[in-house]
């Protein structure tokens, strides 16, 4: 059974609609796929309605979070995958709404700053491109590519949209320990996404992962395209020490990234542990 537990649709910053994404998953021979758009569950109903027979769909999300080091040093951006939570849980729903609002204001500031310096992007164009979905830097990156200002989405992220760029604006993401509590209280299963991907920037230490486990974290995403072999090995050791299950996933974003769906997979016995812990929603299955 091929199981991929981390994908994005056009409801956030992927390029395929949930229906197209499920068709892609099935064509790639997956038996299980999780839909984990950033900070929204808007794709869940679309995925449930479009699910092809034989494919199990796990409703999920990727929550934008920050780890605040106890020594008061700068917070570290972390992503928390959440599966099988109750989408109607009021506390968690309110926090998602706050994050989406935060994303909108922040993207507008990035775009206005770029445009003021003559870079070919406009806010109405970005709003149109997001098509009602959750906005992210990939939308701005694509607009810069289409206007010929950069050669690729990757180049946009390496230059104008990099977190060290003068145009970069941070978001007020959720404290990850609070995020873990919100997910658990909604009956969901929290998994630390691409936790040691130094390729993406600063990462947290073992102390943070231990604190997250203490707060109710249940799994670690070990096999991810952005993890080197040594980073995977370190996470495997932590999962054993902290009694967390391990996942492997592609973090598919359609044409916004090079990675193919199913490029990394989760072992069936690890998936069983995830399923057993989720009580807020059920997978969509035959
Ligand atoms: P944001 O959430 O707006 O801060 O943007 C970060 C998103 O951009 C994440 O979902 C990443 O998956 C995506 N991303 C980061 N770096 C790249 C890259 N080089 N190419 C494409 N997407 C990227
Ligand atoms: Fe993304
Ligand atoms: Fe992520
Ligand atoms: Zn992701």
- Which protein residue's CA is at the shortest distance from atom 19 of ligand 1? 154
| pLDDT tens per residue across span 170-226 | 999 999 999 999 999 999 999 999 999 999 889 999 999 999 999 999 999 999 999
Comparing CA positions, the residue from 51, 1, 25, 2 lying closest to residue 254 is 25
Q: How far is the CA of 62 from the centre of ligand 3 (A)?
A: 7
Please give the distance, rounded to the nearest whole angstrom, from the Cα atom of residue 272 to the centre of ligand 2: 26
Closest CA to 247 of 233, 269, 266: 266
Distance of CA 98 from the midpoint of ligand 1 (Å): 20
The band of 16, judged by pLDDT with boundaries at 50, 70 and 90, is very high
Determine the Cα angle at 46 with ends 82 and 142, to 5°: 80
What's the pLDDT tens digit per position in 214-272? 999 999 999 999 999 999 999 999 999 999 999 999 999 999 888 999 999 999 999 99
Confidence of residue 61 (pLDDT cuts 50, 70, 90): very high
Given a cut of 90, whether residue 131 has pLDDT beyond it is no
By alpha-carbon position, which residue is closest to atom 2 of ligand 1? 136
Q: Whose CA is nearest to atom 10 of ligand 1?
A: 13
154 lines ligand 1 (CB under 6 A): yes
């Amino acid at each position: 059974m091929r199981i991929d537990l981390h994908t994005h649709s056009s409801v956030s910053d992927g390029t395929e609609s949930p229906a197209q994404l499920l068709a892609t998953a099935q064509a790639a021979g997956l038996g299980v796929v999780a839909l984990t758009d950033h900070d929204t569950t808007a794709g869940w109903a679309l995925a449930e309605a479009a699910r092809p027979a034989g494919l199990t769909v796990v409703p999920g999300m990727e929550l934008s979070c920050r780890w605040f080091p106890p020594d008061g040093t700068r917070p570290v951006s972390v992503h928390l995958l959440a599966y099988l939570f109750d989408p109607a849980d009021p506390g968690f729903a309110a926090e998602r709404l706050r994050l989406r609002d935060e994303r909108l204001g922040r993207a507008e500031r990035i775009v206005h700053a770029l445009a003021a310096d003559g870079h070919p992007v406009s806010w109405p164009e970005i709003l149109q491109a997001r098509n009602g979905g959750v906005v992210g830097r990939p939308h701005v990156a694509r607009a810069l590519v289409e206007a010929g200002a950069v050669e690729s989405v990757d180049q946009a992220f390496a230059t104008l949209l990099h977190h060290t760029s003068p145009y970069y604006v941070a978001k007020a993401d959720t404290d990850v320990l609070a995020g873990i509590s919100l997910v658990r209280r909604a009956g969901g299963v929290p998994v630390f996404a691409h936790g040691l991907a130094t390729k993406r920037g600063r990462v947290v230490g073992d102390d943070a992962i231990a604190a997250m486990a203490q707060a109710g974290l249940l799994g670690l995403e070990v096999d991810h395209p952005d993890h080197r072999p040594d980073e995977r090995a370190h996470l495997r050791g932590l999962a054993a020490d902290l009694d967390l299950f391990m996942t492997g996933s592609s973090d598919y974003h359609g044409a916004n990234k090079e990675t193919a769906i199913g490029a990394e997979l989760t072992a069936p016995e690890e998936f069983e542990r995830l399923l057993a812990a989720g009580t807020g929603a059920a997978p969509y299955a035959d």
